[in-house]
């Protein structure tokens, strides 16, 4: 049975309840009211209500049902007695029903609810209504209180020289800003918040469509003006559309003629075959190109190629493969839409399901979902009898079943796309003008709008489609694709709670709870966990973050707006175009034959242009954020959150959030205030020191820093732009200014402890990843370095590492090391900070070298020609020292990496025989190879302590060489099964696992803060709350960390792996190689420790699995508490018999079970995690 949607129920119930007016319907009125109540009960029964008076189906838009009932009762002036029991339930607050009314109906509704609350003795319900009325009154008063100055927009010409820009366009606001303003205008409505939120979400989609409408207007206007046709991108596209249509008609006619000339036996449409030399056959290509009208094919091609510009890391262009496949996909989607509309009809169930309820237009996502559903129904109909299918499946399912076709393969998408793109490249032309240097005349030339070329990207030669410079320049101005989609903006009401993997957040827009890239495996695991109810703690944690109210800090905004509109550079905001000054180098004389002079000129010019582009991009970003802040200035708003595949939470709105830059954080303040109390003033002072950059001192010293700078604080608060500007010297100037305003107001208040503060105060972890590693490994030295162990003042891990590095450098200098002698001054903590910070997240040697080289450039005391050698030397030393300082962390990293390597080379027992067979083809050396590697499909999967399944998505894309109209390309199908990438699985697992733990810790803390009525926000390992509740939050941070790490997390992970992969098999040679590498790594670590710290003791453990041609023999070694050289010696000695391991022989290979080669967990150190509770600076 098909159950109507909630909005249908709501309409019917509201209509029935509206007939309950006694004056209009007399004695029948009670019957209508009773029928409405029974319909509500039926809704509840249908959606799992445990009793007849419990709200149900709220996760399926059930709120609309109760809003409809309430509206009907209010409009008919009926008693509210039937709905009162529902209002006593916490999941149905009265505010949610009042927000569904028109503003004109609110006074009557509020009065009716108050009277009902008094008659039913429900004082809390009465208070809720009064609070709602108070908020609305405040809202209306704020709307008329003042007019806020506009934000001066970045002009269209910004970022370009005056010679590059037409005078008529020079002062125009960027369309992205005008479009954003139009979307944000919905906020200024006098309606109640939930209606304004719906209007805002609708307006944001209208803004996205406005971009296309603007393009169409320009095309139409270009028809009469030849000058405009030459200068406006949209008019070029209009011209290309006509020419491409003609070109495609010619090609299709040519294909048809070629097919007609073929013998009948060869003219049939056989399944397409592809190779590196043969393109798609014309009869196959023609079949696909005939699916849509030619003009529609042309339009799709142009729009997709323009949309893809700048994607995939190609400046002013795109990778050939990416562009061709995008066009092929777009053609497939349009064909599906046309098929559904023409076959099922515009009033059909299937077509209506493709329509976005807000845009009232088909969306690509919905078209794909409907097409997939049709395919599932076609398969279901085959299994069911005709009568059963008619009863269960939607109307017209027979018609749709007949026309449904499977999804196009990537090969077909590529073949169709390549033909269309090739045609576009042939016909699309633009006129370029230049001044002849000799004659001074303006010369015009017709050039291709797009060219096919090759570029080297990360050492690989790739085919690219490049835009003509004039097209790229025009695209940068017209911005034909909405780069910043205005859809995801802060919300005016609390976001919908997360109830499923795809339900929560915005009221109208569907947003998934997890962000991941093309991983069907992750999607299936997430969906299963959601349906089984395992994600409730994760959902609740995200809801805490989403429900935190925010406001714009008005005093900071006023300073930002004034300085922005002046155009002067301030803090990290670059100057406006008219105030900016860029010194271009003088062009060398043409007679100068020295090539070095020319090279230097080009390099300096590029550097200035790069700075110019950077400043323009920065101003565009700030312009967007300030515009949003201005629109939300009088409102409390919310930031819905979701998470990445590791569980780390992020705000869904990409702009103006705590995850943003210093300006964003300075503009944000909590939407609620709390009195400072006894400790709040101290924490405001400490926070000031932190954001100023004085964060390595003790808390007492930080508070004293603020007290000693009270005069500067008052001056900054009173004269932020015309005073001493002390706040601008801070590390985070905008956050410092916000704190100056708050501190000045508190200090000047009659009673600072009673001052109500809304400023977020931060508590940040010390190299949080290392904190988790130290806790996992019980590492005493590591724990002390990252403040897990109590100390009189905060330990600084970066200083600790650089001290060791400087010691090594000095020793090498004494030994006459050439590179060490180049380092004249001791290294500072800044040189090593980024490398130390990212080591826990898997930084490579090359990455560390580049990080350090950047810092050495900034120091300026190393000659340019020596930077590479010195940075390589320091990087190696730093990485060695980190391993020494965090020996327990290094052991766990190695264990995680080894486990991932074993998993990625494991095969289910059901695939062993298949894996044991030889490939039919031979390698280049003529050797027949095993297909075992093709069976390595096992990705590393684990479950976080909160029940979130994490699937690492790293796989080897199966590529096939295909000849297209443009070039030979390598293509892969993301949906096709492909083997994992063992290297990526192994290197990414340690940081991903730690990320999943810090995400768990944050969500646990969020839940505890909610239970204790504390405001909470988070930016990964930075936790925010009111100044008055910092100490309470600090206790909760430590409690949840201890709760998390009191478990044997590594042991549980090992058990999880054994449960999941224990019966899988690994080729014995792979296990041998992995184990040998692990043993060597541990031995090398021991040798470094011996060299630097003169440690004779080294804890190592290694297993080595070896095999002979006829006999399986598993060898393992343990070398505990031995010097490094003994450890290596012992690691190759066997102390296990063949019978100790369950092994298998299939084909010519030997296999061993995963459970028999997975190493035991590294031994844990003596640090007890509960000692964190005594550490003052664990988070500080």
SS3 at position 668 = strand
**CA nearest 302: which of 354, 236, 258, 246?**
236
What one-character DSSP code corresponds to residue 955? B
Inter-residue contact 70 to 100 (CB < 8 Å): yes
Inter-residue contact 1068 to 1085 (CB < 8 Å): no
Beta-strand relationship, 550-552 and 496-500? unpaired
Q: How many CB atoms neighbour CB 827 within 10 A?
A: 21
> Considering 764, 803, 812, 1125, which one is annotated as catalytic?
764
3-state secondary structure 433-445: EEECCCCCCEEEE
**CA nearest 64: which of 99, 29, 32?**
99
List the helix and strand counts (H, then E) for the chain.
45, 28
Residue 1062: exposed, middle, or buried by beta-carbon count in 10 A (0-12, 13-18, 19+)? Answer: middle
Residue 357: C-alpha distances to residues 102, 199, 202, 361, 363 (Å)? 21, 13, 10, 8, 10
> Considering 1021, 1115, 1153, 1156, which one is annotated as catalytic?
1021
Backbone φ/ψ region at 716: left (φ over 0), alpha (ψ -120 to 50), beta: alpha
Beta-strand relationship, 641-644 and 514-515? parallel
Helix, strand, coil proportions of the chain in percent (round to 5)? 55, 10, 30
**CA nearest 510: which of 496, 527, 523, 524?**
496
1135 a catalytic residue? no
SS3 at position 114 = helix
764 a catalytic residue? yes
* Whole-angstrom distance, CA of residue 115 vs CA of residue 127: 12
Inter-residue contact 730 to 738 (CB < 8 Å): no
SS3 at position 808 = helix
* Whole-angstrom distance, CA of residue 289 vs CA of residue 298: 11
Which residues are CB-neighbours of 213 under 8 A, at least 6 positions away? none
Query: ∠ CA(979), CA(980), CA(984), 5° rounding?
Result: 150
> Considering 477, 621, 634, 833, which one is annotated as catalytic?
833
- Tokens standing for residue 635: 């409102």
Inter-residue contact 1154 to 1070 (CB < 8 Å): no
Angle in degrees, 0-180, between the axes of helices 106-119 and 63-75, rounded to the nearest 10: 90
Residue 1125: C-alpha distances to residues 898, 1080, 1105, 1106, 1129 (Å)? 22, 11, 20, 21, 6
What one-character DSSP code corresponds to residue 730? S
Inter-residue contact 84 to 116 (CB < 8 Å): yes
429 a catalytic residue? no
Residue 79: exposed, middle, or buried by beta-carbon count in 10 A (0-12, 13-18, 19+)? Answer: middle
Inter-residue contact 458 to 316 (CB < 8 Å): no
Inter-residue contact 842 to 987 (CB < 8 Å): yes
* Whole-angstrom distance, CA of residue 728 vs CA of residue 734: 8
Residue tagged 């006593």 (tokens): 88
Inter-residue contact 717 to 738 (CB < 8 Å): no
What residues are annotated to the active site?
764, 833, 1021
């Amino acid at each position: 049975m098909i159950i109507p949607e909630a909005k249908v129920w709501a309409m019917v119930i509201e209509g029935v309840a509206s007939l309950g007016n006694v004056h209009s319907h007399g004695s029948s009125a009670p019957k209508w009211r009773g029928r409405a109540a029974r319909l509500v009960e039926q809704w509840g029964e249908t959606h799992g209500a445990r009793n007849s008076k419990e709200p149900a189906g709220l996760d399926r838009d059930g709120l609309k049902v109760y809003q409809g009932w309430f509206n009907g009762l209010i409009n008919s002036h009926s008693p509210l007695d039937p709905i009162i029991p529902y209002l006593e339930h916490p999941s149905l607050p009265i505010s949610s029903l009042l927000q569904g009314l028109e503003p004109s109906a609110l006074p009557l509704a509020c009065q009716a609810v108050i009277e009902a609350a008094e008659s039913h003795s429900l004082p809390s319900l009465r208070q809720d209504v009064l609070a709602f009325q108070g908020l609305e009154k405040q809202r209306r008063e704020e709307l008329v209180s003042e007019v806020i100055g506009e934000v001066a927009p970045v002009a269209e010409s910004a970022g370009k020289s005056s010679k590059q820009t037409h005078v008529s366009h020079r002062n125009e606001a960027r369309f992205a800003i005008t479009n954003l303003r139009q979307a944000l205008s919905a906020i200024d409505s006098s309606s109640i918040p939930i209606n304004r939120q719906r209007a805002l979400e609708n307006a944001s989609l209208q803004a996205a469509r406005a971009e296309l409408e603007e393009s169409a207007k320009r095309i139409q206007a270009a028809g009469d003006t030849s000058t405009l046709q030459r200068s406006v991108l949209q008019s070029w596209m209009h011209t290309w559309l006509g020419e491409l249509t003609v070109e495609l008609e010619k090609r299709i006619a040519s294909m048809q003629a070629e097919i007609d000339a073929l013998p009948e036996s060869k003219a049939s449409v056989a399944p397409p075959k592809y190779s590196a030399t043969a393109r798609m056959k014309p009869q196959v290509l023609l079949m696909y190109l005939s699916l849509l009208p030619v003009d529609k094919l042309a339009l799709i091609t142009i729009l997709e190629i323009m949309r893809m510009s700048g994607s995939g890391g190609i400046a002013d262009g795109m990778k050939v493969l990416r562009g061709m496949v995008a066009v092929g996909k777009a053609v497939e989607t349009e064909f599906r839409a046309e098929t559904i509309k023409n076959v099922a009809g515009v009033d059909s169930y299937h077509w209506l399901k493709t329509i976005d309820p807000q845009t009232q237009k088909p969306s690509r996502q919905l078209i794909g979902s409907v097409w997939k559903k049709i395919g599932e129904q076609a398969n279901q109909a085959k299994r069911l009898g005709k009568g059963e299918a008619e009863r269960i499946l939607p109307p017209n399912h027979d018609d749709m079943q007949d026309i449904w076709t499977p999804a196009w393969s990537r090969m077909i998408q590529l073949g169709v796309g390549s033909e269309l793109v090739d045609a576009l490249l042939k016909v699309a032309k633009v006129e370029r003008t230049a001044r002849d240097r000799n004659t001074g005349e303006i010369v015009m030339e017709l050039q291709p709008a797009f060219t096919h070329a090759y570029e080297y990207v990360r050492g690989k030669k790739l085919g690219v489609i490049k835009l003509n410079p004039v097209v790229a320049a025009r695209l940068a101005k017209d911005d034909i694709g909405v780069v910043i989609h205005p859809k995801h903006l802060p919300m005016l009401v609390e976001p919908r709670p997360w109830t499923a993997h795809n339900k929560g957040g915005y009221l109208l827009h569907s947003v998934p709870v997890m962000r991941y890239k093309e991983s069907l495996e992750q999607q299936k695991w997430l969906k299963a966990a959601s349906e089984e109810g395992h994600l409730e703690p994760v959902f609740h944690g995200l809801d805490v973050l989403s429900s935190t109210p925010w406001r714009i800090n008005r005093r900071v905004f006023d300073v930002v707006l004034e300085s922005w509109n002046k155009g002067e550079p301030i803090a990290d905001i670059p100057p406006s175009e008219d105030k900016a000054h860029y010194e271009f180098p003088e062009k060398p004389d043409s007679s100068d034959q020295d090539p070095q002079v020319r090279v230097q000129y080009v390099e300096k010019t590029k550097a200035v242009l790069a700075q110019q582009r950077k400043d323009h991009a920065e101003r565009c970003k700030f312009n967007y954020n300030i515009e949003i802040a201005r629109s939300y200035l009088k409102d409390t708003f919310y930031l819905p959150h979701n998470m990445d595949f590791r569980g780390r939470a992020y705000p869904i709105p990409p702009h103006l959030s705590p995850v943003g830059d210093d300006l964003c954080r300075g503009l944000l303040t909590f939407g609620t205030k709390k009195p400072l109390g006894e400790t709040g003033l101290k924490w405001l002072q400490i926070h000031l020191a932190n954001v100023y950059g004085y964060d390595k001192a003790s808390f007492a010293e930080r508070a004293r820093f603020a007290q000693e700078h009270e005069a500067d604080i008052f001056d900054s608060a009173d004269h932020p732009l015309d005073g001493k500007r002390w706040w601008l010297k801070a590390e985070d100037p905008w956050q410092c200014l916000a704190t100056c305003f708050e501190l000045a107001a508190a200090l000047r208040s009659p009673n600072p402890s009673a001052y109500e503060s809304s400023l977020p105060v931060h508590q940040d972890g010390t190299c949080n990843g290392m904190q988790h590693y130290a806790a996992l490994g019980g590492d005493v030295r590591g724990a002390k370095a990252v403040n897990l162990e109590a100390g009189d003042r905060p330990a600084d891990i970066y200083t600790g590492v650089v001290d060791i590095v400087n010691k090594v450098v000095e020793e090498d200098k004494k030994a006459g090391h050439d590179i060490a002698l180049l380092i004249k001054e001791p290294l500072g903590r800044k040189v090593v900070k980024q490398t130390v910070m990212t080591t826990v997240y898997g930084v490579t040697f090359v990455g560390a070298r580049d990080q350090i080289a950047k810092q050495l450039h900034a120091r300026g005391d190393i000659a340019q020609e020596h930077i590479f050698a010195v940075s390589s030397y320091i990087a190696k030393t730093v990485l060695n020292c980190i391993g020494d300082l965090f020996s327990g962390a290094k052991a766990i990293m190695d264990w995680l990496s080894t486990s991932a390597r074993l998993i990625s080379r494991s095969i289910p027992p059901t695939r062993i025989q298949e894996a044991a067979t030889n490939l039919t083809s031979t390698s280049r050396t003529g050797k027949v190879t095993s297909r075992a590697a093709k069976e390595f499909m096992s990705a590393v999967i684990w479950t976080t302590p909160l029940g979130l399944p994490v699937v690492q998505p790293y796989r080897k894309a199966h590529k096939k060489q295909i000849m297209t109209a443009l070039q030979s390309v390598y293509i892969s199908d993301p949906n096709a099964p492909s083997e994992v990438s063992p290297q990526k699985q192994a290197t990414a697992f340690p940081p991903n696992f730690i990320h999943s733990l810090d995400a768990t810790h944050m969500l646990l803390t969020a839940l505890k803060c909610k239970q204790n009525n504390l405001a909470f926000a988070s930016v990964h390992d930075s936790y925010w709350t009111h100044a008055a509740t910092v100490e309470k939050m600090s206790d909760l941070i430590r409690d949840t960390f201890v709760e998390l790490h009191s478990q044997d997390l590594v042991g549980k992970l090992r058990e999880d792996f054994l449960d999941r992969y224990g019966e899988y098999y690994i080729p014995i040679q792979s296990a041998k190689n992995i184990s040998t590498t692990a043993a060597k790594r541990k031995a090398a670590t021991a040798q470094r420790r011996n060299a630097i710290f003169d440690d004779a003791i080294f804890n190592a453990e290694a297993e080595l699995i070896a095999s002979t041609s006829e006999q399986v023999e598993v060898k393992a070694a343990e070398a505990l508490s031995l010097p490094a050289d003994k450890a290596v010696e012992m690691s190759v000695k066997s102390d296990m018999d063949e019978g100790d391991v369950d092994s298998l022989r299939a084909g010519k290979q030997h296999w061993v079970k995963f459970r028999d080669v997975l190493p035991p967990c590294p031994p844990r150190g003596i640090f007890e995690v509960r000692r964190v509770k005594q550490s003052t600076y664990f988070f500080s």
